[in-house]
Amino acid sequence: GQNIDQPTEMTATEGAIVQINCTYQTSGFNGLFWYQQHAGEAPTFLSYNVLDGLEEKGRFSSFLSRSKGYSYLLLKELQMKDSASYLCAVRDRNSWGKLQFGAGTQVVVTP
Amino acid sequence: KAGVTQTPRYLIKTRGQQVTLSCSPISGHRSVSWYQQTPGQGLQFLFEYFSETQRNKGNFPGRFSGRQFSNSRSEMNVSTLELGDSALYLCASSLVAGGRDEQFFGPGTRLTVL
């Protein structure tokens, strides 16, 4: 099985940078996803990592270290609309359609 | 391209009843996964269907079941409802659920059990 840990809440000001860490333990790693979920809405895909390193996509970047069981999501130039819950999810080998989600990190962006 | 649709969006039932939720995936997607989301437990995987076969199953009691039709539409059923089944039920579809395949989530069905 998996154990996925991420901070419960983070607060940052508009225009700043926030880094959300995620640590995981898995018996057979096969990819890590980051999703954004606004209150009352469905999660939406942000990024995917399966190899070590940094994936950059606009204001959002995600990093993975498989040997450390560690990932982070970096949000740059924060905007008020970035206030949401950010979910780290891990997929096991041979569990294609099954994602194990962390509890989510609530990011609060203040003016 | 239409997104994932789920019906109904809201449902109120009483303990002991049963309920059926429906999910229509994005056209061409063959994998449908179901999740339960509650404030206390977060998003928890229920099961996944691919080409009408259950490919993965989470740790939920047998009261939770599902199926997938030849057009990839999926239904999940919960029998003998309990108060603790109150949750947002999300379905997600993907092409084959492998590699970089992301899961696209539907808006969810909010189930309240009284």
Q: Compare CB distances from B31 to A35, A96, A103 and report the shortest one's residue.
A: A96
Query: Which pLDDT value is given to residue B1?
Result: 66
Tell me whether B1 touches chain A (CB under 8 Å).
Answer: no
Query: Which pLDDT value is given to residue A6?
Result: 97
Give tens-digit pLDDT for A7-38. Answer: 999 999 999 999 999 999 988 888 999 999 99
A31 interaction partners in chain B (CB closer than 8 Å): 99-100
State mean pLDDT over B11-22: 98
Nearest-CA distance A4 → chain B (Å): 12
Nearest-CA distance A43 → chain B (Å): 6
Question: Distance between CA B83 and CA A6 in Å, rounded?
Answer: 28
Per-residue buried b or exposed e for A40-68, using 16+ beta carbons within 10 Å of the residue's own CB:
eebbebbbbbeeeeebeeeebbbbbeeee
State mean pLDDT over B2-18: 96
Percentage of residues in chain A having pLDDT higher than 90: 84
Query: Which pLDDT value is given to residue B97?
Result: 66
Tell me whether B95 touches chain A (CB under 8 Å).
Answer: no
Tell me whether B63 touches chain A (CB under 8 Å).
Answer: no
Tell me whether B98 touches chain A (CB under 8 Å).
Answer: yes
